[in-house]
Amino acid sequence: MQVQLIQHTTDIPAAVHALYESSFPATERRPWHLQTILAATGSLQLASVNVQHQFGGMVSWWLLPGFVFIEHIAVRETLRGQGIGAAVIQLLQQQYRLLVLESEHEHQSPFAKRRIGFYQKLGFTIFPYPYLQPPYTKDAMFVPMHLLHSGSDNSEAGFRHVKEMVYRKVYGVKGSEGITGE
């Protein structure tokens, strides 16, 4: 099966937008108009996933100091379970040395345990430190999540660097002072 990433800065296909909106609850995504602005400026890398030359999914990631943060990955529902998500992660692993992503805690959804196992099979490890995903909107709350990585060690210093960069660059949060639950 041929899987290919097609990056977009403008003229983002409607199918990417529709899959983004349907695959992630509002608390786990930023408003689409902001997503398109970030893609247009090059801050956010946004790609459609083509499978055998047909739209099969979407992925977005950030090039941060020392690592790449995968923010969203989704495969069309009719194509799930065919190894497409794994192929996308492997394409990114071939291109970038250190990848980081967030995932729900095992008890947060019926699919969270499976999703974590999926990432672990691809070489990801959970950082053993508490992590809260910042909200995408001002009226939302921080959400307890796992922060996973591939290609790094589990040091607290490494975790703190990753967390600080994700908070600042992806979510616009200046440091984590005053954030409870960590």
Please spell the DSSP secondary structure of 37-64, one letter per residue. HHHHHTSEEEEEEEETTEEEEEEEEEEE
Per-domain boundaries in the chain: 3-170
The pLDDT value recorded for residue 178 is 42
CA distance 26 to 124: 26
Q: Which residues are within 8 A (CB) of 39 and not within 5 positions of it... i.e. 6 or more apart?
A: 8, 9, 10, 12, 45, 46, 60
CATH number, domain 3-170: 3.40.630.30
Q: Which pair of structure tokens corresponds to residue 1?
A: 């099966």
The pLDDT value recorded for residue 108 is 84
Tens of pLDDT along 51-76?
A: 999 999 999 999 999 999 999 999 99
